[in-house]
Amino acid sequence: MLEAIRGKAKGLWRNEDGLGMLEMILIIAVIVIIAVVFRKQLKEMIENLLGKAASKTDEFMDGK
């Protein structure tokens, strides 16, 4: 009986169907968790970058 369980476990371990999908889901979950934890810092960084882009665009359009 124990040998049968070991055989099934080894078979499951060797069967890698869907393993790539599981890895992708885990990577996406980690990215989402990091984004949620650092959302304030990310928001400030994006606003800063967009502000710089807007000011550079205004400078370019004004011909300065």
Look up tokens 């099934």; give the residue: 8
pLDDT in tens, 8-44: 666 666 666 666 788 889 999 999 999 999 999 999 9
Tokens of 23: 């890895």
- Side-chain half-sphere exposure of 13, counting CA atoms within 13 A: 6
Tokens of 8: 């099934």
- Quote the Cα angle for 61-49-45, to 5°: 165
Q: Which phi and psi (to 5°) does residue 16 adopt?
A: -105, 15
Q: Is the pLDDT of residue 53 over 70?
A: yes
**What pLDDT does residue 39 have?**
93
**What pLDDT does residue 6 have?**
74
Q: CA dist 41 to 29, 31, 32, 49, 53, Å?
A: 19, 15, 14, 12, 18
